[in-house]
Amino acid sequence: DVRSDEEWNGTNKRGGPRGGHIPGALHLEWINFHTGGDVPILKTAHEIRSLLTKINFSPEKNTITYCQGGIRAAHVFWVLKLIGLDNVKNYDGSWREWGADFSCPIE
C-alpha cells in the first residue's frame, strides 16, 4: 500500500465508502522513494532497498502495489522493477475497487 498514512489507517477515505487497507498489506508511502526538496529525485537502489527492509518487505514474495486509483502504485511498480525486482504487479483497480466491494475484507 503506497498511499498516505491517513489513507492507510482509514481516516481519509478520499470519498470512498470504506477506509483502511487490504489485510496483510505492507505500507510505505510512494513519496518515500524520493529525496526531499523542490525537485524530487529518485533515491538510489540501495536507499530504496533499505526502506523496504524496514517494513519487512520480502523480495522473494510476489508483490502487488496499490494506492487509491493505481497511479501512485504504477510509479512504485516501475521503481521496484527499476531496482531489479521481477515478481511485481500493479493492482490497477486499487483501493477504489477493493474498498467499494463490501465482500472484500479490510483492516
Cβ atoms of 39 and 31 closer than 8 Å: no
Catalytic residue among 25, 67, 73, 74: 67
Compute CA 61 distance to the chain's CA centroid, rounded to the nearest angstrom: 15
- DSSP H or E segment with residue 19: none
Q: Is 67 a catalytic residue?
A: yes
**Rounded Cα–Cα distance for residues 39 and 92 (Å):** 27
Q: Known catalytic residues?
A: 67
